[in-house]
Amino acid sequence: MEYTHLGRSGLSVSRLCLGTMNFGWKTGEADSRAVMDRALDEGVNFFDTANVYGFDAGKGRTEGVLGSWFAQGDGRREKTVLATKVYGGMSDWPNDTFLSARNIVRACEASLRRMGTDWIDLYQFHHVDLRTPWEEIWQACETLVAQGKVLYVGSSNHAAWQIAAANEAAARRNFQGLVSEQSHYNLLTRHVELEVLPAAQHYGVGIIPWSPLAGGLLAGALEKNAGTRRNEERNQKRVEEHRPALEAYEAFCRELGHPPADVGLAWLLHQPAVTAPIVGPRTMAQLEGTLGALEVRLDDAALTRLDEIFPGYRPAPMEYAW
């Protein structure tokens, strides 16, 4: 396993991040524990969750599964860099949602109880809250850091100007601020290259891409669907929308001699702003299928070809102005 620092922090994390969103509702608890054990055995030390995960099985369920796994001992908690998130509503009451100081502190304490741990390594804002000032947000985070309940803070789904505003506000308070940003980023979805990635690099914020394989489109969708029952209507529509690019992509992957999923993840790992893509397996086989990406090396010619198939963006304003 390869490791890198999370943004400008001194925290070492694996180049793949285990996303646990499926655990406890799409993936049963026993299977979830087995996947986490295998990930840790393979050196994946970076686990991502959120307080709202569990959905149909109940919000908080996924954090509860992590808690039961940590409770088995054998250094599981100590070996894991644990990331969770706050923002989504945990009830119908108005103060159980968003990023007020009250919700940040109380949601953190609830996550700690569900996971049976004393601290969260990376506490992330699941979405931007435009109605709460950064001064209030940082006041709450400073309290949690001072209490040892949170070690680092990150964001998710934030725009570049919001990352800048957050870290400038933190600097005024002599607080570390954001060290990471979770963004929707893959070969098909590259909007963050306009401003989010340049801002992240400027502020030393590590990018943690979610949906790195575009919901499976970059994992050999054409090949997997060939000769089988047509996929559900929504996914099939997405395949047809991108069919020419996907055909070229899968053909190029065959030339490289690597599975499409490995190439898609490897491309992200070659991007300088990226810390670790989030892989969210439902099964052990899916976890095992992601590990090969770490062995894929893409030369300049391969990277250029992938840019031709899936054109990206230059940093703003060069993308649209002289």
Catalytic (active-site) positions:
53
With 0-12 CB in 10 A as exposed, 13-18 as middle and 19+ as buried, what is 214? buried
Both tokens assigned to 213: 């394989």
Cα(249)–Cα(305) distance, rounded to whole angstroms? Answer: 9
| Three-state secondary structure call for residue 120 | strand
Query: Max alpha carbon distance in the chain (Å)?
Result: 60
Cα(240)–Cα(219) distance, rounded to whole angstroms? Answer: 15
> Residue 82: phi, psi to the nearest 5?
-95, 125
Both tokens assigned to 174: 């002599």
Both tokens assigned to 308: 């031709």
CA atoms within 13 A on the CB side of 127: 10
Q: DSSP assignment, residue 23? A: B
> Residue 300: phi, psi to the nearest 5?
-60, -35
Cα angle, residue 269 at apex, residues 4 and 188 outer, rounded to 5°: 145
Nearest to 201 by CA among 2, 7, 61: 7
Strand pairing category for 3-5 and 81-86: unpaired
Could you list the beta-strand ranges (E) of the chain: 3-5, 12-14, 17-19, 46-48, 81-86, 120-125, 150-156, 178-184, 206-210, 278-279
